[in-house]
Amino acid sequence: GQNIDQPTEMTATEGAIVQINCTYQTSGFNGLFWYQQHAGEAPTFLSYNVLDGLEEKGRFSSFLSRSKGYSYLLLKELQMKDSASYLCAVRDQASGTYKYIFGTGTRLKVLA
């Protein structure tokens, strides 16, 4: 089956670093995505990993280990505007086409 797990909620302080973990099980893995979703808005794309290792994009980095079914999103120099939900998603190709399967999201609160 398909399963994606991530923590429900995290809290961190402005200026700090936070790591959001995601574990997944899927039969047709074809990429790991992180999305950011502010309350009342659409999910917006943050990062993509298809090979093992770290991808860095400014303050945000994402890591993937396919053998462990594990990813994390690292947010550095946290700002108040980073308070949002962070969704881990796997692109699955098991059914012959792509579909994006989402975890339940991690609500991050950044405190002053």
Partner 1 sequence: DTAVSQTPKYLVTQMGNDKSIKCEQNLGHDTMYWYKQDSKKFLKIMFSYNNKELIINETVPNRFSPKSPDKAHLNLHINSLELGDSAVYFCASSQGTRGAPEAFFGQGTRLTVV
Chain contacts with partner 1 (rule: CB under 8 A): 31, 33, 37, 41-45, 48, 50, 85, 87, 91, 95-102, 104-105, 107
Largest CA distance in the chain: 47
Instruction: Output the smallest distance, CB 47 to partner 1, in A.
Output: 9
* Shorter beta-carbon distance to partner 1: residue 37 or 65: 37
What number of other Cβ atoms are within 10 A of residue 55's Cβ? 16
Q: Is 62 exposed, middle or buried (0-12, 13-18, 19+ CB in 10 A)?
A: buried
* Shorter beta-carbon distance to partner 1: residue 50 or 54: 50
Instruction: Output the smallest distance, CB 76 to partner 1, in A.
Output: 22
How far, in Å, CA of 41 to CA of 53, rounded?
30
- CA neighbor of 32 nearest in space, from 86, 74, 69, 76: 69
* Shorter beta-carbon distance to partner 1: residue 70 or 102: 102
Instruction: Output the smallest distance, CB 31 to partner 1, in A.
Output: 6
